[in-house]
Structure 1
Amino acid sequence: MNNQVLISLAAPVDGKFMKLSQVKDPVFSEGLMGQGFAIEPTDGKVVSPVDGTVTLVSETKHAFGIKTPDGADVLVHLGIDTVDLKGEPFTVLIKQGDRVKMGQDVVKMDLKEITDAGKQKTVILAITNSKDILQQLMTKEFDQNITAGSTVAVASIKKLIDKKPQKVGSGKYDQLAADIVENVGGTENINSLIHCITRLRFYLKDDSKANDNAIENLDGVISVAKAGGQYQVVIGQAVTDVYDAVIAQIGPEFTNDNATAEAVKKTTEEANQKNDPWSVIKRGISNFIGVLTASMIPIIGILAGSGILKGILAALTGFKVLSTTSGTYVILNSIGDATFYFLPIILGFTAAKKLGSDPIVLGIVGGIIIYPSIVTLASKASTASTSFLGIPTTLVSYTSSVFPIIVAAWLGKCVEKFLKKVIPLYVRSVFVPILEALILSLVIIIGVGPIITVLSKGLSDGLVSIYSFSPTLSGFVLGGVYQAMVIFGLHWGLIPIVINDIATNGHSYINSILSITMVAQGGAVLAVFLKTKNKKLKEVSLAAAISAFCGVTEPALYGVNLKYKRIFIVASISSAIGGALTGFLKVNNYALSGALIGFPAFITPGVGIGSNFYGYLISHYGTLLISVLLVYLFGFTDKMLAKKSDPMNINLNMA
């Protein structure tokens, strides 16, 4: 019996003790749900049949599951076909994650209401993982009356040597919990677990068995830290839910309620001390950037590849190898451009997963705001100003945009929660998604669009005015702020000015400065590539650098530079210096192209390679050198990989 454990099973209700084969439901009577027994109840009080952790409470309240510390999954099913009663006869006293004791009251069932509804009230207990762990089930004699809470069976189960958890239940955080436990080295590597207001705090037997990178890349995990002898997994506001899900899988014997209470108290006090306006603003910015980069991470690879393809096409058209009207160009350009054009749809899906909104609905919202009719109207000054139900609004083209759909994903969870409160259950599946999509789309189109229009126009007019006053000063300011404008969608006010300059005058000084910002961001990730020893970061950084030099900075911005904020700040300083140099040299651009791959756009038509092209080489490669050196020396170190920011901005030793 060295490899066996005996588990006592109590009667969950008063009543007549029955064989499972007597149950009038083939799923249970044929043992398809596992071995067990049944009781024909005489009283509606239901108690826990075992000690353990609640892993399941069905939405219709007719069933609940408990996992024992030894790994047995016990299901208690209240009545037959009672799922049809939508929970009406049941009052549930427990919730998923609760720890219960044998004999503890857990549910009250109205037997009369069940029989009046034409349903059978038989209570069934089954060990659902019988095939995996059950060796023998020994019971009292059947067909006798028994009392709730009294021992009626003993299960002999296999002792679990390796308690590597499987996903328990269908809760929102169950899979995340299982993945975290697996990657900290499994249950056998855990001494105990507590939590504070943002972090799971593991006491591990051997920290080296934990896979930091795997844990940090899990959806729902912000970062990993090691402090005070603890292995800390930063979750954020959902930490309590994730903690409950982890304990449900590894067992209550790993908890320390007193230590958890003390950690929560200390970190709450620390957080309260940091609720001054500046700290709140910093946390808000940190949260926004965290969501932004996390939403972008799944598509960084294809963004980089698409950027490189677009750069190659720009070079081919610049050297007249390909015509922009040829079928080859159109098809290749659509492949390179599609990811950027439909970015709001992709980001709607990924951001919603990160923030807990409905990914499908947010993907649809992304599709709505780039719907061809809206884009067409927004592209013309005569039709961009319109109205919705009498509300005046200004339409904006959201193709390739980032900020608006992130705002929608942030609001999505609240909107969905509100709609579920006011819309009856039986019509929710039809009306909640479409109403949520409607509300979020209107928030962007009527609310965000006009705000972005006003701000971007004001910024653009101001920057153009500065250029008229001083090209050098304009280059410094525009070079420093342009990529930040891209993040918030405020750069669209400048694009029409650039296009108009090239179409009307045949050149654009401003586009030369915009080109510099791409080189600076690319130089920053190139410096990271040269300095980091992290293999994965090297791969991402090199691809992002090539993409930026081809004129597409999204992989650099969202894959690396914003993720480690100091890199972005140093890159922006480099960009400001490069922009000032570009303005001072009055570098001109003759086509809607730029960065390093777009060098033909700086060759003066009718003149060829001359002073303007030399100015391009000095400004762009000078900016590249400045950016690489500043980021390499001051902007990045591998120590930053272990210090990704906690959204609560709490000291590592306290959080």
Structure 2
Amino acid sequence: MKTDDKAIADGIIAAIGGMDNIRAVGHCSTRLRLTLHDKAKVDEKAIEDIEGVKGQFFAGEQYQVILGTGLVNRVYDIVAGENQGGVNTDIKADLYAGMSLPKKLSRILGDIFIPVIPVLVATGLFSGFINCINSFGVQMDPNVLTIATILMKTAFTFLPVLIAWSGMKQFGGSPVIGIVLGLMLVNPLLPNPNDVVKGTVEAITFHPFGLEWNVVGYQGSVLPALVVALIAAKTEKALKSVVPDVMDLIVTPFTTILVAGLLGMLVIGPVCQTVEHAVLAAAKFVIALPFGLGGLILGGTQQAIVVTGMHHIFLALETDYLATTGFNPFNAMISGGIMAQATAALVTGLKVKNPKKRGFYMAASLPAFLGITEPAIFGVNLKFGRPFLFALCGGACAGWCGAMLHAASTGMGVAAIPGIVTYLYSQQAIINYFIIHGVGIVVSGLLTWFFFDPNKAEQGELEG
């Protein structure tokens, strides 16, 4: 043990109020993470004056001290060993213990998506730019278009792989098993769900007990991958507790993949598909409601459905509208909600004081303005909760306006800023476009600006 390491550890312990003030301790690759009984006892200036400490901050209930790679492991070992093993080192369980069920679920979902956010931001920007170019009728060389399609669709096509990998880490399983299970869900041998919806291919059909059971791929879906990761992690943990060490290397991964993989493809996926079909039938009923109520409901819930990953089912609804009428009112009802999510993330970024977080939150809002809301939702709005709800309110108001104006797009799959090109067919349609999106932006922006403080939320004072 290095003398300096002991001095750093002792200095941190003294500045946070002593060992008795520590509820739990953990660490990541660079930061010592602590939950404390009394945050008021922390002397932040004393912490920053300790040689070797590169910074400190509160993140919700967690107090984090930045030490850097290597050093953080050594200091953690000292702090965790100061009370002869009496210190709680399960900091994640300690954090979750004091949370309500909705906040716990939101936190788990956020923790799963945070590692995935950077690639979704990058891919979302690619997708937005390419969609914008295509919407203006710019002809691209087929080879260039192929490369562009790879850039903009890979992360979302293989989203279940990313979710299963991150979910397995979050639930305490082996990440590599999550990767394999995610790849199974998007295996090209399974029919693409979008193609099934469009009627270009047929689902794989089984007939157990005389029932029709359809199986498809789950490209772009979130819910099946989350459930599969949870089942796999629980299965792996259960097996490790009973399988002898000499057999663990073979039996545990084999059984985990067999159980979770089959359940994912044959049970979890089809059940989610059934739920999706129910959502589609409900959407048709809702759109037909009088006095703009359909737009109010769809505009206020569509981005919540995005969280589940089941929003691709609406492709069938949009396809039907375009095929029979040439217009797509569904787009007009939900596009303002996309801008509302983008605005909520942007305003949160503008209000937060931490420069690094400000840049992260504002960067997450950019793809949303181009129609890709996952980075804004999972990286910012859903993490805090209140901005997400405010954005849903903005979406509801925008959707109601769209329904009352009888607004409609002439396309599908493109919304928010790039979607303006699908409203260029008439002067009134363009006016409707700006009204709808303006309402979503104003309502979401004002609610987030006046009724949410991300700095206090980070400290757990409002969102705790």
Q: Scaled by the length of structure 2, what TM-score is found?
A: 0.81
The structural deviation recorded for 1:471 is: 6.4
Give the secondary structure class of the aligned counterpart of 1:598. helix
Match of 2:423 in 1: 602
Q: How does 1:367-386 map to 2 (within 5 A)?
A: 367-376=183-192, 379-380=195-196, 383-384=202-203, 386=205
Aligned twin of 2:392: 572
2:457 aligns to what?
Answer: 640
Alpha carbons 1:163, 1:186 under 8 Å: kept: no
* Cα drift, residue 478 of structure 1: 0.4
Give the SS at the match of 2:458: helix
Residues 224-239 of structure 1 mapped to structure 2, 5 A cutoff: 224=62
Task: Specify the SS of the correspondent of 1:401.
Answer: coil
Aligned partners of 2:109 and 2:391: how far apart in 1?
18
**Contact 2:5 2:75 survives alignment (8 Å):** no
Residue 303 of structure 1, CA deviation: 1.3
| CA positional deviation for 1:436 | 0.9
**Unaligned 5+ residue runs, structure 2?**
26-33, 66-73, 89-93
Asked if 1:543 corresponds to 2:363, the answer is: yes
Q: 1:625 aligns with which of 422, 438, 442?
A: 442
Report what 1:356 is aligned to. Answer: 172
C-alpha distance in 2, partners of 1:479/1:636? 25
User: AA paired with 2:286?
Assistant: I
Question: How far off its partner does 1:189 sit?
Answer: 4.7
Equivalent residue pairs, number = 429
Please list the CA deviations of residues 58-85 of structure 1 after superposition, one character each: whole Å capped at 9, or x if unmatched: xxxxxxxxxxxxx5xxxxxxxxxxxxxx
Partner of 2:29: none
Which residue is equivalent to 2:30? none
Listed as ranges, the gaps of 5+ residues in structure 1 are: 1-70, 72-131, 133-159, 166-180, 226-230, 233-244, 262-266, 275-281, 650-655
Q: Which residue of 2 aligns with 1:387?
A: 206
Q: Which residue of 2 aligns with 1:249?
A: 78
Does the Cα contact within 8 Å between 1:212 and 1:224 map onto a contact in 2?
A: no
> Which letter maps to 2:261?
S
What residue number does 2:71 align with? none
Aligned to 1:563, what secondary structure does the other structure show? helix
Structure index of larger Rg: 1
- Shifted more, 421-430 versus 309-318: the winner is 421-430
1:193 aligned residue: 19
Amino acid paired to 2:129: I
**Contact kept? 1:564, 1:644, Cα under 8 Å:** no
Provide the secondary structure at the position in 2 that maps to 1:561: helix
Matched, 1:531 2:351: yes
The one-letter amino acid paired with 1:419 is L
How far 1:493 sits from its partner (Å)?
2.8
Separation of aligned partners in 2, 1:624 and 1:251: 48
User: For the residues of structure 2 that align with 1:291 and 1:399, how far apart are their CA atoms?
Assistant: 22
Distance 1:298 1:389, change over 3 A: same
Are the counterparts in 2 of residues 292 and 406 from structure 1 also a CA contact under 8 Å? no
Given residue 307 of structure 1, which amino acid in structure 2 is its aligned partner? G
Equivalent residue for 1:68? none
User: What is the alpha-carbon distance in structure 1 between the residues aligned to residue 237 and residue 136 of structure 2?
Assistant: 55
Matched, 1:495 2:315: yes
1:343 and 1:399 in contact (8 A); partners too: yes
| 1:505 matched residue in structure 2 | 325
Given that residues 302 and 334 in structure 2 are in contact (C-alpha distance below 8 angstroms), is that contact kept between their aligned partners in structure 1? yes
| 2:193–2:218 contact (8 Å) kept in structure 1 | no
Distance 1:527 1:205 in 2: 30
Greater relative contact order: 1 or 2 (C-alpha under 8 angstroms, separation 6 or more)? 2
Return the TM-score normalized by structure 1. 0.59
Shift of 1:335: 0.5
For residue 309 of structure 1, report the CA deviation from its aligned partner: 1.6
Counterpart CA distance in 2 for 1:438 and 1:645 is: 44
Alpha-carbon distance between aligned partners in 2 of 1:532 and 1:645, rounded to the nearest angstrom: 14
Task: Give the 3-state SS of the residue equivalent to 1:386 in structure 2.
Answer: strand
Bigger shift: residues 301-310 or 517-526: 301-310
**Paired amino acid for 1:453:** Q
Among candidates 120, 130, 137, match of residue 313 of structure 1: 130
Residue number in structure 1 paired with 2:68: none
3-state secondary structure, aligned to 2:137? coil
1:519 and 1:548 in contact (8 A); partners too: yes
